[in-house]
Each structure stands twice: as structure tokens, then as C-alpha cells.
Structure 1
Amino acid sequence: MAVVGYILLCLIWGSTWLAIKLGLDAGMPPLLGASLRFAIAAALLLPAARIMAPASFRDRTAWRLALLVGLLSFGFGYGATYVAAMWIPSSLGSLTFGFFPFWVAVLAHFLLGERLTLAKLLAIVLGFSGLALLSYGSLRELGPDTALGVAIVTCSVLVQGYPQVMIKRDGKDVPTVFLSGAGMLVGSLVLLVVAGIAGEWSRPFPWNSTVVLSIAYLALMGSIVTFMIYYGLLKRLSATLMALVALITPPIAVVLGSIYRSEQLGTLTLTGGAIVLTGVGLFQLEERRVARLRRRA
């Protein structure tokens, strides 16, 4: 079931890049759009958490982790992603976010005891190389705001790594439905405030069909389904293996984008995607080898 969940997670998150881009191109304000996405998801998850895990609402650890992930991941992290998407192509954004597994691997090594072996590091480097190859074609046409967009995504990577490691360390007994719902509520409020500061409140919201469908899909599939799977798997799999999702989703996003635009996939795209999957597979093999050695020790 873990394998099925991991694959489903990658497929859905790979499709969210296109959903976000379509919404933004249709006039969706980035911060308000992200806030509304998480508000809808929280409105559905929290009543379920009240029924399924009522004790979580009185648990300090649960609230601490929810605040952490709400502020840093759903709030700052996703806000930065939406804003950066206006200035840089999704390929460059995904390439920059490809540093996420490196950062999580370092944090997990020191905070979780997930040993970062040379083989693991090389597997991550291989996966990142595939991502760079995948993005090569679109990186030749960059605008003047590229540096700012890359800087924003880089900050997002650095900020989002810490909550993931803390959830892995302290969130084993925190119900996934509460962590997702409460975290998204906090993130939605943060994004709503920042949207007001950025002047998005004063603009009319474009309630066209593309924006509505984009937000609905991102709330239901891209938030509720994915994070329920993600946090559930994070309790069972290593933090770094879960972070490798950041390398797998861009090839999926490229394929879906090509299908949407009725374009053929080039050799670089196919080769890059294959290299990414090879790197992730080698990482998993190394994790299993290390686990066997620990059991024998």
C-alpha cells in the first residue's frame, strides 16, 4: 500500500503544477488563490478531525506541529511557490525546488539519525541531474526577474525542510487528519493576511470557470488527498525518501503539460525523466541495504 500511495502522491502533485499555472493565467491572485485552496481543504478536514481524533484538539504537540507546518510550509512555502510562478517557468521552479531532498537529507542526518551515506548522496545527485536535463530546454529563455524568482523558491526550500523533519520526529502519534486540517487553516490565515498587505484584497476576484476548477482541484486533490497520503507515509518511510517526491513530480508535470499543449516529448525530456527515476530507485535500494545492516547489528 505504501508503494501505491507514493505513486499516487507523485501523480497528483505532478498535476498541480499545471493546475496552478492555469489558474494564474486565468487571473487568479496568487496569494488569495493559495489561501482559498487551503481554507476549503481545512473546512472539510477539521470537522472530520473533530469526529475521528477529538483528543488532538487538546494536544499541545499536535498544535505545535500544526502551527509549524501551517506557518512555514502552507503559509510561507506555498505562498512563495505561487508568487515565484509568476516570474519563472515551472521547469526552473521545479529545478530549484529539487534542492529540497538535499536539504532534508542533511537535516534528517543530524536531527533524525537517518544516516546520509555516500551512495544516498550520489543517488540524490543523479536524480537532480536528471531534473536539470529535463529543464534544460526552457532554461535558455529566462526573463529579468529570474534571479528573484529563484531566490524566493530557494528560501521556500530552506524553510519547508524543517517542518518535515520535525513531523517525522515528533508527529508519530498526531493524527494525519488533524495535522493536515489545522496546518492548512493556519496557512490559509497567513496567506490571507499577506495577500491583504500585497494589495490583492482590493482587486476583484476573477470567478471564471478556470479559476474555480483550479482552486477546487488544488483543494480536494492537491491538498486533502495528497497531504493525507504524505503525512501518513512520512510516519512509515524516511524523511529523505519522502522529500524525493520533489524530484519525481517535475517529469510528471512536464508530461501532463505536453499532453495539454499537444506537444511531443523530446529526447532530453524522456532521458531526464528516466535518470530521475533511476536516482530515486538507487536511493531506495541503498536505504534497504542500510536497514538490513542495522537489523544484523
Structure 2
Amino acid sequence: MILINYLLVCLIFGTTFLAIKVGIDASAPPFFSAGVRFFVAGLILFSVMMWRKKATFALLLRKETLLTGICLTFGTFSGLYWGEQYVSSGIAAILSATGPLMILVLQVLFLRQRTSSISALGCIVGFTGVVLLLLPSLSVSADQNWLIGAGVILIGELFYASGALYSKRVVQRLPDTSPIALNAVQMMYGGLLLLILSATTERVHASDMLTSGAIGSMLYLIVVGSMVGHSLFYWLVAKTNPVFPTTWLYVSPLIALAIGATFYGESINALSILGVVTIILGTLVANYSSLKQLVRRRSRTITDTAPAK
């Protein structure tokens, strides 16, 4: 069951990038689309948790959930949705895979945490991959909007990295609160802020949101992407450990790249493929210690639960 749910998480998160692209190409305003997605998904999840008595209204009044929502939802997805106006869904997914690398960089620069030489090497390799990925668009004749879109997505990943580090403290500060409830509230706050941003920067017309592409994209992202995907993710965290479920970041970008090229005709050149491989390799190397501990824990669990001869 754990393996099946893990594969589902990888598949779901790998397809959300194309779903975002489909909605945006259908003329759905990016900030408004993101805001509706996360506010509705968060509201439904929070209502369910309230009904099951695993969350209280007081959780909405905590500043921790607001700050987490600013980073994990508002900052991350405002950048991703806006950037996907100009960047293919596959490339957006690969750029999003730099989140773990940025977490390590922030830990060293701002939290003054020491890092191993192999993690530092992984960061260098990963960011080299980013350069390779962006290199085709650095020529004089390049599409500047593509380059700006990619840069905005990377800025969004800085928000994600900050939110991921902060959310660890929030979970420790609120040990008796369900992670799903915390995630629901931060999605509500992030979605509300995205709607406020949309109200000040976008013109939303009902006709733009009533196309088949926009409606299909929205329903898929709310139900499958946000509610099912995130619930399965936190189920895996509860059943395994915090490290194993996050390895979707090494699998889903490749799924997104393949799906975008196969079903949406997104182009991939040789230099982009080299950049993709380099980013994934750098991310794996940078997180080598955590992955090694995961393998040891799983091996120890298998050994402990093996039947006696």
C-alpha cells in the first residue's frame, strides 16, 4: 500500500504542471486560478478535519499558518502559475525540483548550519544544471519572456525553501495538530492572498473561466492535485518518515517532462535534457546523507520484521 500510494503521489504531482499549463493556455488568469484552487481545496480539507474533530477554528487565528501560507502557497505558486505563461510545463517542473537545493543554501547562508562537502558539490552540480537548462534562451535572439518566466519560477522556489524550513518549526511548535489541518489552513491563507493579488493585477472575465480547458484544469488541480495528492503525501509521512515522501521531487519532474512532450507537444532539445539530468543528479547528491539514512532505516525495518528461521 505504501509503494502504491507513493507512486500515485509521484504521478499526481507530475501531472499538475501540465494541468496548470492547460488552464493558463485556456485564458484562465494565473493568480485567480491559483487562488481559487488553493482556497477551495484548503477550505474543503479544513471543513473535513473540523467535522472529524481533528482541527479547531483557533487554528485559523495563528500567525504561523499565515506565514507558512505566504511562503509555501502564495510565494511558490504565484511564481509557478505566472511563469507557466511563458515556460513549458516540463521545464517548470524541472525548475521546481531545485527547491531542496535552495533549502540547503538557505540553511548555510542564514541558519549558519554546516553542510558536508558532498552536499555542497550537489548544489554546484544542481545549479550548473539550471544554467544548462536556461542556456538556449540566453542568446541575443532568445525569447526574453521565457527567461523571465523561468527566473520567476526559481524565485518562487526560494519562497518554497523558506516555507519548508519554517514549517518544520511550526510542526514542532504544534505537535498535537494534524499536519493535514495545518496544510489546509496555510492553503486557505495562500489562496486568499493570491485572490487579493489577482484583484489588483488581473481582469477576470467569466468567459475565461468557463471554457472546458479552464474548468477541467481547475477541477483536477483542486480535487486530485491539492486534496488527494497532499492527503496521500501526509499519509506517507505518517506511515514512513518525513524524508521518503519528499523523494517525489526526483521522480515527478521526469514524469512532467515526458507527459508534456507526449500529450501536449512540448519541445525538448539535447541541452535541455542534459540540464534536466544534471539538476536531478545534483539534487540527489546534495541530499545524499538524508537518502542514505532513509535506506538504512528501511533496511533495519526489514531486518527487524523478518520472520525467524
Stretch of structure 1 that moved more, 45-54 or 251-260:
45-54
1:131-165 CA-partner distances (Å, limit 9, x unpaired)? 76677778878413234323422321222212211
Aligned with 1:212 (options 212, 215, 220)? 215
Answer yes or no: is 1:198 the counterpart of 2:197: no
Structure 2: how far apart are the matches of 1:32 and 1:279? 34
Structure 2: how far apart are the matches of 1:202 and 1:191? 17
2:44: which partner in 1?
A: 44
- Letter paired with 2:263: Y
Aligned with 1:286 (options 282, 289, 300)? 289
Percent identical residues: 24
Structure 2 unaligned residues grouped into runs of 5+: 297-309
What pairs with 1:258-269 in structure 2 (closer than 5 Å)? 258-261=261-264
Label 1:289 to 1:112 Cα distance change in 2 as closer, same or farther (>3 A): farther
Provide the secondary structure at the position in 2 that maps to 1:27.
coil
Structure 1 unaligned residues grouped into runs of 5+: 293-297
What pairs with 1:81-120 in structure 2 (closer than 5 Å)? 81-108=80-107, 116-120=115-119
Answer yes or no: is 1:28 the counterpart of 2:28: yes
Provide the secondary structure at the position in 2 that maps to 1:223.
helix
Asked if 1 retains the 8 angstrom alpha-carbon contact of 2:76 and 2:160, the reply is yes
Label 1:16 to 1:210 Cα distance change in 2 as closer, same or farther (>3 A): same
1:63: which partner in 2?
A: 62
What pairs with 1:176-195 in structure 2 (closer than 5 Å)? 176-195=179-198
What's the C-alpha RMSD, in Å, of the aligned pairs?
A: 3.8
Note the C-alpha offset of 1:30.
1.0
Structure 1: how far apart are the matches of 2:203 and 2:23? 15
Structure 1: how far apart are the matches of 2:105 and 2:67? 19
TM-score by length of 1: 0.77
1:85-142 CA-partner distances (Å, limit 9, x unpaired)? 1133345534543432222123456888986322233345545656766777788784
Label 1:177 to 1:96 Cα distance change in 2 as closer, same or farther (>3 A): closer
Structure 1: how far apart are the matches of 2:128 and 2:11? 21
Provide the secondary structure at the position in 1 that maps to 2:208.
coil
Provide the secondary structure at the position in 2 that maps to 1:171.
helix
Structure 1: how far apart are the matches of 2:285 and 2:183? 30
Structure 1: how far apart are the matches of 2:151 and 2:273? 28
Answer yes or no: is 1:237 the counterpart of 2:236: no
